[in-house]
Amino acid sequence: MDTVGKNKKKIQEYIKNQLQQDQIADQLSLKEFVDPFTGSKETKA
């Protein structure tokens, strides 16, 4: 039984999933604050 191809595919899926989770975490950690007086946005991480 050849497991090389299966392991490679599993590793690729794992890395892809990790990258997606990292992007989601980055989006959640980036907060936008809007100044209620001027309406201008200030991004703060």
Active-site residue, 14 included: yes
Asked if 35 and 42 touch (Cβ cutoff 8 Å), the reply is yes
Question: Which entry of 8, 11, 14, 15 is annotated as an active-site residue?
Answer: 14
Length of the chain: 45
Contact 35, 26 (CB under 8 A): no
Active site residues per annotation? 14
